[in-house]
């Protein structure tokens, strides 16, 4: 079977290789799964290029999620059957044709769009936790987010709209407004020096109780200045690759709480009940088509160099998927 690997840090288009390795039959308590679709996330590219918070052991196979079909069931496995679709959540290295691992590493899923379900973990679960795990948000509350046209941003818009939470969505290009409003965005603003003033005016006097930032740099500072007394600002990325300028006056005198969020760390500390509840909130919405994410393009494993170049392109409009 084919597997995508790398043995050194560097440009993903240059260091990633497609290799042939032997398929492994499942042992007791294991299943063998044929991978149907797996996405390329910015975090994958950052880790391969050495710009992420953790470094892998080599040889490393990227990929954090996807959808597969059970191809073979080992002894002692009774809750999964051949032909059943599963999420690739508890296994690393999903950029491969097959995965053999303990059956409890996979989550059975209902029928639905395989491509949408292949993106069901990292981005929608992050959006869900940013809405549900930072502040006790109520219907009618206002929040502000940067990089609103990102995958997490679009999921957050859809989830917030379902709960009656109003969103101010910050982007770099106003041409993105039409799509975001179709998803349920209440306000779309272009980032700039007057962002805080625009955001405060857009709410009609209502305070912004939560800010969600994945850009960093000056955008982080502007969002901090836009928040109301006692609000929270959570950072889950630094797309600008610039350290945020922290306005301590806003933190101190407005009692704004600043914190980070990393889904991998949440998985480490969440209880089984919390994990089950989070997936239970998200998977049915994706399977039913109630929430979705744009797909830019699809690539075969053999075209991995072109795939990662497209995933890193500023003109990309949606997620890039690998289809073994």
Do residues 226 and 189 touch, judged by C-beta distance below 8 A? no
Taking the C-alpha atoms of residue 151 and residue 41, their distance in angstroms, rounded to an integer, is 9
Q: For the chain, what is the radius of gyration of the CA atoms?
A: 20
Put residue 319 in one of left, alpha, beta given phi > 0 → left and psi -120 to 50 → alpha: beta
Do residues 191 and 144 touch, judged by C-beta distance below 8 A? no
DSSP element (H, E) containing 70: strand 67-73
Catalytic residue among 6, 52, 155, 236: 52
Taking the C-alpha atoms of residue 161 and residue 153, their distance in angstroms, rounded to an integer, is 12
Angle at 300 between CA 297 and CA 301, to 5 degrees: 125
Q: By C-alpha distance, which of 322, 260, 313, 301 is closest to 17?
A: 301
Encoded tokens for 274: 């919390």
Put residue 263 in one of left, alpha, beta given phi > 0 → left and psi -120 to 50 → alpha: alpha
What phi and psi, each to the nearest 5 degrees, are found at residue 198?
Answer: -65, -40
Q: For residue 52, indicate whether it is catalytic.
A: yes
- Burial category of 28 from C-beta neighbours within 10 Å (exposed 0-12, middle 13-18, buried 19 and up): exposed
Taking the C-alpha atoms of residue 222 and residue 225, their distance in angstroms, rounded to an integer, is 5
- Please identify every residue annotated as catalytic: 52
């Amino acid at each position: 079977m084919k597997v995508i690997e790398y043995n050194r840090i560097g440009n993903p288009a240059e260091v990633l290789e497609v290799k042939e390795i032997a398929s492994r039959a499942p042992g007791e308590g294991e299943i063998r799964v044929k991978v149907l679709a797996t996405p390329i996330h910015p975090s994958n590219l950052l880790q391969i290029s050495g710009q992420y918070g953790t470094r892998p052991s080599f040889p490393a196979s990227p990929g954090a999620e996807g959808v597969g079909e059970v191809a073979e069931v080992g002894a002692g496995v009774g809750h999964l059957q051949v032909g059943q679709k599963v999420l690739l959540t508890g296994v690393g290295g999903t950029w491969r044709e097959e995965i053999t691992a303990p059956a409890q590493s996979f989550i059975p899923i209902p029928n639905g769009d395989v491509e949408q379900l292949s993106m069901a973990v990292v981005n929608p679960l992050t959006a869900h936790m940013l809405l549900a795990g930072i502040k006790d948000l109520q219907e009618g509350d206002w929040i502000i987010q940067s990089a609103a046209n990102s995958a997490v941003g679009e999921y957050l818009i859809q989830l917030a709209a379902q709960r009656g939470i109003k969103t101010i969505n910050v982007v770099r290009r106003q041409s993105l407004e039409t799509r975001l409003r179709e998803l349920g965005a209440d306000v779309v603003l272009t980032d700039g020096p007057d962002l805080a003033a625009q955001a405060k005016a857009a709410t009609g006097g209502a305070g912004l109780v939560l800010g969600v930032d994945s850009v960093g740099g000056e955008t982080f500072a502007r969002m901090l200045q836009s928040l109301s007394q006692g609000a929270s600002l959570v950072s889950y990325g630094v797309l600008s690759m610039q350290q945020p300028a922290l306005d301590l006056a806003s933190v101190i005198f407005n009692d704004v709480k600043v914190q980070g969020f990393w889904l991998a760390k949440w998985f480490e500390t969440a209880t089984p009940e919390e994990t089950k509840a989070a997936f239970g909130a998200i998977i049915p919405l994706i399977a039913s088509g109630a929430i979705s994410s744009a797909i830019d393009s699809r690539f075969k494993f053999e075209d991995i160099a072109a795939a990662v170049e497209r995933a890193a392109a500023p003109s990309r409009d949606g997620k890039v998927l690998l289809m073994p």
